[in-house]
Amino acid sequence: MNQSYQKIFLLLTVLFVWGCTNDLEIAPTDLIDSGVAYENVADLESGLAAVYALFPKSPTLRTSTYQTALCKMASKGRNIGSSAYNWQYTPDTPSLMSDYGWSGYYSVINALNLLLIAADQVPLPTDADVALANQIKGEAYGLRALAHFELFRIFSESYTQEGASAMPYMLAPQVGEPPRNTVAEVYNFLKEDLQQSAAFQQQGSREDNELEYIYFNENAVKALEARIALYEKDYPTAIQKATEVLNVKDIIPQGNYADMFDFDAPDNAEVLFKFDIPAESGRIGNLWRDNSGLVNFFPTQDFINAFASNSLGDPELDVRFEVQVAEDADQIEQTQIVGKYIGGNSAVNAGDLIVFRSSEMLLIRAEAYYFNNQQSNALQDIDRLRSERISGFTNGGENGLSILNAIKQQRLLEMSFEGHQWFDLRRWGDPVIRVDVTTVNTPKVLVSSDHRFVMPIPQHEMLANDNMRQNSGY
């Protein structure tokens, strides 16, 4: 690690650790003169690399598996995630700050805000320096939008009521006790950040463009715009942005699907943006199984049975089945385990976190078409996905509400364990319904109106910030 990287990484690590205990109430000691840490464009690049490393990877994955019907807690596991699985989280749940990203996302946002300030101050003696600084600023604005949107998905009281409380949108590393912005305000800030991201990237450049998918690139900007538009129910924009992405990167064909999740030799043909995670820095698969092989969460029979919904009733015909569900003969309680982040020959449970890929864009467009009264287009898109995932698939022939049900089913099968199911249910106003559960006392139904679909603001933040208001029901 070179000296400048050590300097930036140390700064961001200090900010990250500090943020885990103090969150949004930024102490004056954190307002470090950015000129001390950032002296040139190389320092900016190192600082951005550290942000990529520190960006929280697990909050939405944990929420969308532990709290849905995708997984059940192992009866002989380490009892991790039990409050989430049983929907028993409260503002003072000890792990709430870290597990659901409040501290982690805001620490990263703070680091990005410091980086953006420095990017306007460091000397840029050459055209190449100017181009790289613009690229760094573009990616920083995009990452700031992504971090805020993840907080929005988890903590906002609503996705569509403009006046509802969302969460503070931090545009600067300011001292104070920020109140929660409204849903409408957050959407506006997100769009402004993404516009800035695209504008700076159009004026910027990187030397390693062949690895663009590990940076928050212009395709990632459009992908996040499409995802945001779907949550906002701005269906024309969702269609437009998803189409723009699909015109650049098509979905991966059936024969290459499994390779997309191969840790040792991944196929990134449809990957728009992912966090490249070295095995030594963190393993996503540990959310479900530890490195010793002990399983803490199994896939449910509910989820496994969903793959048999094709016309022949055979889950093996769906190329996604063996990626999502793996066999482990050493398990006594259940031999089928979560397979998407099972790792490779070099590292158990290792995997990169794919944030955006073309299949999601196709699903976004299909759903937007449906709600925009373009049902034939919606069916065409969902049939396109199924034809590349299910052997022997013929056109579904659905109409009306059955098209929407097909879209929901395909989002479940395609995007599971990638951080979407919980939030999809919230968007649709659908309940969590479990059949296969750990014990007879495990709660099975969470109705859509239940306040627990929105996570509580951590009690530590409530105590530190007099302007913070708790979510209803807590």
Identify the residue whose tokens are 């900010």.
15
Instruction: Measure the CA angle with vertex 250, ends 236 and 361; round to 5°.
Output: 35
pLDDT-derived band at 165, boundaries 50, 70, 90? very high
Query: Is the model's pLDDT at 156 over the cut of 70?
Result: yes
Non-local (6+) Cβ contacts of 462 within 8 A are 91, 468, 470
- The reported pLDDT for the residue numbered 15 is 43
In 3D space, the residue among 128, 145, 105, 78 whose CA is nearest the CA of residue 16 turns out to be: 105
pLDDT at 32 over 80: no
Give the pLDDT confidence of 36-83 residue by residue, as tens digits. Answer: 579 999 999 999 999 999 999 999 999 999 999 999 999 999 999 999
Task: Average the pLDDT over each of 137-141, 186-190, 306-310, 426-430 and give the range with the smallest value.
Answer: 306-310
pLDDT band at 140 (very low <50, low <70, confident <90, very high): very high
Mean pLDDT of the region 327-344: 93
For residue 195, the model assigns a pLDDT of 98
CA 273, 278, 281, 286 torsion-angle sign = positive
Give me the mean pLDDT over the 271-296 stretch: 92
Cα dist from 317 to 312, 323, 394, 448, whole Å: 8, 12, 13, 33
Q: Beta 445-446 vs 432-433: how paired, if at all?
A: antiparallel
Find the mean pLDDT for residues 238-257: 98
> What pLDDT shows up at residue 24?
37
Q: What is the pLDDT of residues 415-430, one digit of tens each?
A: 999 999 999 999 999 9
Banded pLDDT at 174 (limits 50, 70, 90): confident
| pLDDT on residue 312 | 72
pLDDT for the residue 133: 97
Mean pLDDT of the chain: 91
Q: Which long-range contacts (CB under 8 A, 24 or more apart) does 46-50 make?
A: 46/2, 46/4, 46/5, 46/7, 46/8, 46/9, 47/8, 47/11, 47/12, 47/111, 47/115, 47/118, 48/115, 48/136, 48/139, 48/140, 49/5, 49/8, 50/5, 50/8, 50/9, 50/12, 50/13, 50/111
Cβ count near 150 (within 10 Å): 22
**Could you tell me the residue ranges of all domains in the chain?**
1-71+81-207+448-474
**pLDDT band with cut points at 50, 70 and 90 for residue 211:** confident
Share of the chain above pLDDT 70, in %: 92
pLDDT at 108: 97
pLDDT of residue 14: 41
Span 366-383, mean pLDDT? 98
pLDDT in tens, 382-439: 999 999 999 999 888 999 999 999 999 999 999 999 999 999 999 999 999 999 999 9
217 in Cβ contact with 143 (< 8 Å)? no
- Among left, alpha and beta (phi > 0; psi -120 to 50; other), residue 409 is alpha
pLDDT at 30 over 90: no
Q: Which fold has domain 1-71+81-207+448-474?
A: 1.25.40
Say whether pLDDT at 29 is over 80: no
Question: Residue 273 pairs with which residues in a beta bridge?
Answer: 356
Q: How far is CA 118 from CA 39, 147, 331, in A?
A: 8, 20, 52
Global confidence as pTM: 0.93
pLDDT at 96: 83
pLDDT at 249 over 80: yes
pLDDT above 70: residue 306: yes
Residue 116 has pLDDT above 50, yes or no: yes
Confidence category of residue 210, pLDDT binned at 50, 70, 90: confident
Statement: residue 7 has pLDDT above 50: no
Burial of 28 (0-12, 13-18, 19+ CB in 10 A): exposed
Q: In which band, very low, low, confident or very high, does the pLDDT at 3 lie, cut at 50, 70 and 90?
A: very low
pLDDT value for 36: 53
Query: Across the strands, what pairs with 347?
Result: 344
pLDDT of residue 248 exceeding 80, the answer is yes
Rounded CA-CA distance 168/186 in Å is 8
**Structure confidence at residue 207 (pLDDT):** 76
